[in-house]
Amino acid sequence: MNVVMQRINGWFGGLSPVDGPAPAIRGAGYGRATAATPVRGFDQALLWVTVALLAFGLVMVYSASVALPDNPKFARYAHNHFLVRHAIFTVLAFVAALLAFQVPIATWEKVAPWLFVASLILLIVVLIPHVGKGVNGARRWIGLGFMSFQPSELAKFAVLLYAADYMVRKMDVKERFFRAVLPMAAAVAIVGMLLLAEPDMGAFMVIAVIAMGILFLGGVNARMFFLIAAVITIAFVLMIALSDWRRERIFAYLDPWSEKHALGKGYQLSHSLIAIGRGEIFGVGLGGSVEKLHWLPEAHTDFLLAVIGEEFGLIGVLVVIGLFLWMTRRIMHIGRQAIALDRVFAGLVAQGVGIWIGFQAFINMGVNLGALPTKGLTLPLMSYGGSAILMNLVAIAVVLRVDYENKVLMRGGRA
């Protein structure tokens, strides 16, 4: 096992485990030198938790989708169709993550504005007729032959990098609203308008929270932050109030069992609750879900947690929640460590990834458990979907790179 871990360490940057203690360092936020600690090439625990979520997601995607070919809509698919595609997506995403890990954080900082512009262009392209691919009334995908790419997933990553870069560049004016915040707010608003045109309010919500989180962690004045938060909250309330189908979704969430909503907007939520209720404490066993048999729509994507709850019960749901809590906490710690080493951009990027994964997982779980209105957001690293898995793994690879460079600095080297 030690030989294997050393080999993986080599893949992730050529550092093998170090037996001796790291030299003490002094950085911003430290009143004195830190205690000497052993240093490894990358955060192995974060990697293994990521692998565990991916593996469990692969098993559950197969379990949730194995009966889909019995539906005439999917009759031309084999029973393992979604399993094979999800496995291919995961392998491709892992290769992309390995490549992303090789890119220094300084390079990500340089390309952040250009990546943001590229994401805007793709968000415009997806709206072009006969180019963007529509599913269930939403135009969110660009067909690439072997897969469909969702530009909103790239936009989450691009906005994250751009917001971190923006806050580093605007550190000297962060107390002035118009010079510090307004340009960033305008950029997010442009992204939001393009996403609402698809429509994809869920992705816009995640991007807004990522941007707000980085503004807050970057040191924006508290009064300014709460003013922006109030404006965004009012904007989302108005979006819901002025849209008939969004209002209907809220009403269905409040009363999913009514005659009006049980077979309409409340159908997914009611069957998700039935699935979780059937699972009780220990579940009905892997493969034993009834709701996935054409009762619960999108069981392998948005409602994967409901199938986990039915087959593995409360215990399975708590394990998934615990893994995401640990992952979010660990990523935020890596970000704080980078900031303590005077690497503000790297720290904000890592913490932005933590906000992204933590918030999206929270929304998906809340929807599955009936605590939040239905929203089309997948469970990170687990739900079926090539674009989401790709960008999730690339983001985590960047966090591992931040951690790697932190440890190089703590060894007295240069990131």
Distance in angstroms (rounded) separating the CA atoms of residues 227 and 213: 14
Amino acid letter, residue 406: N
Strand, helix or coil for residue 269: helix
Q: Is residue 164 one of the residues assigned to a domain?
A: yes
Structural domain includes residue 354: yes
3-state secondary structure of 411: coil
Label residue 286 exposed, middle or buried (CB < 10 Å: 0-12, 13-18, 19+). Answer: middle
Q: What is the pTM of this model?
A: 0.86
Alpha-carbon span 240 to 415, nearest angstrom? 46
Q: Does 43 map to a domain?
A: no
Asked if residue 3 is part of any domain, the answer here is no
pLDDT of residue 173 exceeding 70, the answer is: no
Token code pair at residue 325: 């809590």
Q: Is the pLDDT of residue 34 over 70?
A: no
3-state SS assignment for residue 356: helix
pLDDT at 26: 33
| 356, two tokens | 């992204």
148-149 and 132-135 beta bridge pairing? unpaired
Lookup result for tokens 């409602």: 303
Give the DSSP H or E segment for 135.
strand 132-135
**Directed axis angle between helix 105-125 and helix 151-169, to 10°?**
130
Task: Determine the Cα–Cα distance for residues 207 and 219; give it in Å rounded to an integer.
Answer: 19
Distance of CA 118 to CAs 130, 162, 166, 288, 397, Å?
20, 12, 17, 44, 21
Domain annotation covers residue 19: no
Most confidently predicted of 11-15, 150-154, 314-318: 314-318
Report which residue type is found at 130.
H
Helix (H) or strand (E) holding 140: strand 138-143
In this structure, the number of other CB atoms found within 10 A of the CB of residue 184 comes to 22
pLDDT of residue 171: 67
- At residue 138, φ and ψ (nearest 5 deg) are -115, 135
pLDDT, residue 32, reads 35
The verdict on residue 273 lying in a domain is: yes
Range of the structural domain that residue 178 is part of: 49-410
pLDDT-derived band at 179 (thresholds 50, 70, 90) equals: low
Per-residue pLDDT, 77: 85
The pLDDT of residue 35 is above 70: no
Q: DSSP class of residue 24?
A: P
Q: What is the mean pLDDT of the chain?
A: 84
Instruction: Reply yes or no on whether the pLDDT at 36 is more than 60.
Output: no
> Rounded to a whole number, what is the largest CA-CA distance in the chain?
68
Q: Please state which of the ranges 11-15, 58-62, 299-303, 362-366 shows the lowest mean pLDDT.
A: 11-15
Distance CA 163, CA 165 (A): 5
Q: Looking at this protein, which amino acid is placed at residue 63?
A: S
Q: Tokens 């994964």 belong to which residue?
A: 357
What type of residue sits at position 278? Answer: R
Domain total in the chain:
1
**Structural domain includes residue 415:** no
Cβ contact 63:286 at 8 Å: yes
Q: Is residue 155 part of a domain?
A: yes
